[in-house]
Amino acid sequence: MNSKAKQQPTKIIDTIKSISSKDIASTAVAITAINEEERASLFECLQKIDRESLKKEKSDEAKRSSNDKERREARFIARLKESLKKIKNEQIDIKTRFYNAKALCLADVQTDVDGMLTQFASLESFIGDLEVLTCLARKKQAEILASIKTQGLSTEGAAKRLDIDPKFAERLYTFHGFIRKYPNLVFSGYSFESLLTYKRAIEKEAEQDDNFCCKLETDIAIVFEGENEDALLEETTMELATASVD
């Protein structure tokens, strides 16, 4: 194609844009009037414009997605820090025997405002204890998986022995290494799935914020309320007495 032909498409496109804004039908007339070579060149230019437009749209979408991800991560890290701040004096109390679980979950909603507030707060505390216990249980499962792997089994082999999905086993094993590095994450109130979802964000923040890193690594004493032998013996005795009466 000669240089004159190469210059034609730009002029043609500008002409079509000008005509199109006034009379759409004239656009078809203008295209029909050009020769085959110019028409092919025009088509090539239009394709290029379309590709560049699509590329820009994808780039803008990627930027929006990246910004949304950064905002979600920032919100999560902020909530995680607030959750860890609730742990005072390197000690956390967890109720492990929920004597009032049935009443908490099945009781009627209180009629007075103060009663509803108390009821809601009690449920929130109950849920918090359950979430921490669930994460502790996942941590122990991860330790068992890691122990089985030391016997020379692959993650897939260990998953088969434990009768769990291999992909779940992989996430559990990743969780094992993550929690060994930052043990106090189990007390955050977040599930192991949520913690793994924001794993990179947590690691990045821990590298940049020494106080946050220290909070994740400092030894914390766990007090399991309701686990003393006297309480267990008393409860067992009451259950046996009730059973004998029935």
Q: What percent of the chain has pLDDT over 90?
A: 39
Domain enclosing residue 34, as ranges: 3-57
Same domain (yes/no): 18, 133: no
3-state secondary structure 35-84: CHHHHHHHHHHHHHHHHHHHHHHHHHHHHHHHHHHHHHHHHHHHHHHHHH
Same domain (yes/no): 141, 225: yes
In a domain, 63, yes or no: no
Both tokens assigned to 70:
């950064």
Same domain (yes/no): 141, 47: no
Which residues on adjacent β-strands are paired with residue 222?
Answer: 92
Q: How many domains does the chain have?
A: 2
In a domain, 9, yes or no: yes
Crossing angle between the packed helical segments 155-162 and 113-149, to the nearest 10 degrees? 120
Same domain (yes/no): 116, 236: yes
Same domain (yes/no): 23, 103: no
- Per-residue pLDDT for 218 more than 70? yes
- Per-residue pLDDT for 240 more than 60? no
Residues 54-107: tens digit of each pLDDT: 888 887 777 777 788 899 999 999 999 998 888 776 777 777 666 678 888 888
Same domain (yes/no): 44, 111: no
Same domain (yes/no): 127, 11: no
Q: Whole-model pTM?
A: 0.64
- Per-residue pLDDT for 26 more than 70? no
In a domain, 70, yes or no: no
Same domain (yes/no): 131, 201: yes
36 band by pLDDT with thresholds 50, 70 and 90? confident
Distance, CA of 94 to CA of 106 (rounded, Å): 22
Task: Select the more confidently predicted residue: 79 or 1.
Answer: 79
Q: What amino acid is encoded at 71 in this protein? A: R
